[in-house]
């Protein structure tokens, strides 16, 4: 039975630069990079070396803890560089792409006629398992996990997020095939969570074999963790899977065609982008192919992912493995005169979550915000700010404090198993203390997984 969920707490940040529903033309990237650092708590072991030829969908590395979980190449070509950091940590695998993509050979498959074990084996063999995440911990799922349910969020409520109706329009067969795959991985339900205003396309509304739940409210209503909390909260020892909507279609396409097609529509936006729009590209492409001549100024921050949870990349960097958007906003490292642009100013050009400025009288205004924290790191004090934007029955500030001191028992009692770092992005945004809350929560989840997982 479907649920109708209304999220009351949260915050929509009205940023300039939302991508228009127009498909632009991007030049094909000559090289692609897959970064093991995109995978949380994942110890990579290389399967390739420099100079080796690879096919799209052939494995590049696997998880040391779970060797069956492999990550595939998005394109065919030659491995030209393996970048390493401190202690020889693998930071990236660079592939010089062929002009025409060659694919690892797999026969088309119908998941509905396969057993759960056969579906799981196909996902592992075709390097598709890496797209499936587990809760708790927000890491790549373990093959031996038996999920109580699987959750797919069909909309993103984050600032400048892409429109899934536009992105997946016309992919009804691929998306349904992906859902059929997921159904074979659980004895429970596959939950497809929709927004009545944002999800009107047939690709979602005509989905079969799933429980459709209707979710509404401000960000973070689109976060799958918030949705799970309001549908069936997780208890210690329970596991569920989550898959991004675009990745459901990718998995479905791989079963239908036998090809690992890592192409995707990426929304390119932000106030520093001259013409925000969508581009068809491939996972791990050079960001320069999406931004060439389309950015104002030269002091900007390029973010692979959304502006609250994404990763900073250089102008000569590459899209992240899971990134479905690319945003460019002003860097915000310039000093601001306190009377005109600082705390003593009228603030008509600033957005304030606490209504500190008169700009709250203009609710339809869009803002050009930068990355400046507008203050130094301060004492971590109880303010009630986190609770005003955190829509779970959890005490976020108390949980963060328990993580900071490494109190595992308190972390468990306060709901650590229900959250992921992205669920605390708004807490970090409104934080007066300028605490890197997402980083703290990620460290807590890694500690819990190590000690109790």
Question: Does one domain contain both 91 and 222?
Answer: yes
Residue 342 has pLDDT above 80, yes or no: no
HEC secondary structure over 76-97:
CEEEEEEEECHHHCEEEEEEEE
Return the pLDDT at 365. 87
* 117 assigned to some structural domain: yes
Share of the chain above pLDDT 70, in %: 97
* 395 assigned to some structural domain: yes
Which has the minimum average pLDDT: 142-146, 219-223, 278-282, 355-359? 355-359
C-alpha neighbours within 13 Å on the C-beta side of residue 91:
9
The Cα–Cα gap between 148 and 129 comes to: 17
Among residues 241, 264, 287, the one where a domain terminates is 264
Q: For the CA atoms of the chain, what is the radius of gyration?
A: 22
Give 424's DSSP letter. Answer: G
Among residues 216, 240, 264, the one where a domain terminates is 264
Return the pLDDT at 334. 76
pLDDT in tens, 281-294: 999 999 999 999 89
Q: Which residue has the higher pLDDT, 348 or 248?
A: 248
With beta carbons less than 8 A apart as the criterion, state whether 288 and 279 touch. no
The Cα–Cα gap between 39 and 129 comes to: 12
Residue 74 has pLDDT above 90, yes or no: yes
Residue 298: which residues within 8 A CB-CB, separation 6 or more? Answer: none
* 203 assigned to some structural domain: yes
Residue 418 has pLDDT above 80, yes or no: yes
Element containing residue 330 per DSSP (H, E): strand 325-330
* 389 assigned to some structural domain: yes
Residues paired with residue 193 on neighbouring β-strands, in sequence order:
153, 213
Residue 339 has pLDDT above 80, yes or no: no
Q: What is the mean pLDDT of residues 167-190?
A: 97
The Cα–Cα gap between 147 and 387 comes to: 30
Q: Which residue has the tokens 């869009």?
A: 366
Residue 24 has pLDDT above 70, yes or no: yes
**How, if at all, do strands 150-153 and 190-194 pair?**
parallel
Question: Does one domain contain both 258 and 407?
Answer: no
Average pLDDT, the chain: 94
Q: How many domains does the chain have?
A: 2
Q: How deeply is 340 buried, as exposed, middle or buried, from its count of CB atoms within 10 A (0-12, 13-18, 19+)?
A: exposed
CA end-to-end span of the chain = 31
Give 351's pLDDT tier (boundaries 50, 70, 90).
confident
Among residues 264, 279, 313, the one where a domain terminates is 264
Residue 117 has pLDDT above 70, yes or no: yes
* 321 assigned to some structural domain: no
* 179 assigned to some structural domain: yes
With beta carbons less than 8 A apart as the criterion, state whether 189 and 210 touch. yes
Q: State the residue range of the domain holding 413.
A: 385-452
With beta carbons less than 8 A apart as the criterion, state whether 367 and 360 touch. no
Return the pLDDT at 409. 96
Q: Which residue has the higher pLDDT, 47 or 369?
A: 47
Question: Does one domain contain both 242 and 390?
Answer: no
Structure pTM?
Answer: 0.95
Residue 249 has pLDDT above 90, yes or no: yes
Q: Which residue has the higher pLDDT, 343 or 330?
A: 330
Residue 435 has pLDDT above 90, yes or no: yes
pLDDT in tens, 370-380: 998 877 788 88
Candidates 35, 159, 43, 53; CA nearest to 97 is 53
Return the pLDDT at 347. 67
Phi and psi, residue 360, nearest 5° = -65, -15
* 366 assigned to some structural domain: no
Residue 355 has pLDDT above 90, yes or no: no
Q: How deeply is 125 buried, as exposed, middle or buried, from its count of CB atoms within 10 A (0-12, 13-18, 19+)?
A: middle
Return the pLDDT at 2. 82
* 192 assigned to some structural domain: yes
Question: Does one domain contain both 251 and 393?
Answer: no
């Amino acid at each position: 039975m479907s649920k109708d969920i209304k999220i009351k707490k949260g915050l929509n940040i009205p940023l300039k630069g939302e991508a228009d529903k127009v498909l632009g033309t991007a030049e094909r990237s000559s090289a692609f990079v897959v970064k093991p650092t995109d995978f949380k708590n994942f110890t990579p072991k290389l399967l390739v070396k420099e100079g080796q030829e690879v096919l799209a969908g052939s494995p590049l590395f696997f998880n040391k803890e779970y060797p069956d979980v492999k990550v595939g190449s998005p394109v065919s070509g030659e491995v030209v560089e393996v970048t390493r950091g401190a202690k020889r940590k693998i930071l990236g695998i660079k592939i010089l792409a062929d002009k025409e993509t060659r694919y690892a050979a797999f026969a088309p498959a119908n998941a509905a006629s396969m057993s759960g074990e056969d579906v799981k084996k196909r996902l592992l063999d075709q390097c598709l398992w890496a797209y499936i995440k587990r809760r708790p911990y927000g890491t790549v799922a373990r093959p031996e996990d038996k999920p109580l349910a699987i959750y797919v969020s069909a909309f993103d409520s984050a600032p400048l997020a892409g429109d899934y109706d536009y992105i997946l329009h016309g992919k009804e067969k691929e998306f349904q095939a992906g859902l059929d795959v997921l159904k074979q991985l659980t004895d429970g339900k596959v939950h497809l969570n929709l927004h009545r205003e944002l999800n009107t396309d047939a690709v979602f509304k005509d989905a079969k074999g799933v429980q459709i739940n209707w979710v509404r409210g401000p960000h973070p209503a689109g976060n799958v963790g918030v949705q799970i909390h309001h549908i069936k909260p997780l208890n210690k020892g329970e596991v569920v899977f989550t898959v991004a909507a675009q990745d459901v279609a990718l998995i479905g396409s791989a079963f239908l065609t036998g090809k690992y097609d890592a192409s995707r529509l990426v929304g390119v936006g932000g106030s520093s982008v001259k013409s925000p729009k969508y581009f068809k590209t491939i996972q791990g492409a050079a960001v320069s192919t999406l931004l060439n001549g389309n950015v104002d100024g030269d002091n900007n921050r390029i973010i692979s992912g959304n502006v609250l949870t994404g990763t900073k990349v250089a102008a000569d960097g590459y899209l992240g493995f899971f990134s479905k958007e690319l945003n460019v906003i002003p860097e915000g490292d310039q000093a601001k005169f306190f009377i005109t642009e600082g705390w003593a100013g009228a603030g008509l050009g600033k957005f304030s979550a606490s209504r500190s400025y008169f700009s709250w009288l203009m609710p339809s205004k869009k803002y050009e915000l930068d990355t400046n924290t507008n203050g130094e790191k301060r004492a971590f004090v109880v303010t009630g700010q986190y609770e005003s934007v955190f829509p779970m029955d959890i005490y976020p500030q108390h949980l963060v404090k328990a993580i900071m001191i490494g109190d595992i028992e308190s972390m468990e009692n306060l709901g650590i198993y229900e959250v992921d770092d992205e669920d605390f992005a708004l807490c970090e945004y409104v934080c007066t203390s300028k605490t890197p809350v997402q980083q703290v929560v990620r460290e807590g989840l890694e500690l819990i997984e190590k000690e109790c997982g």
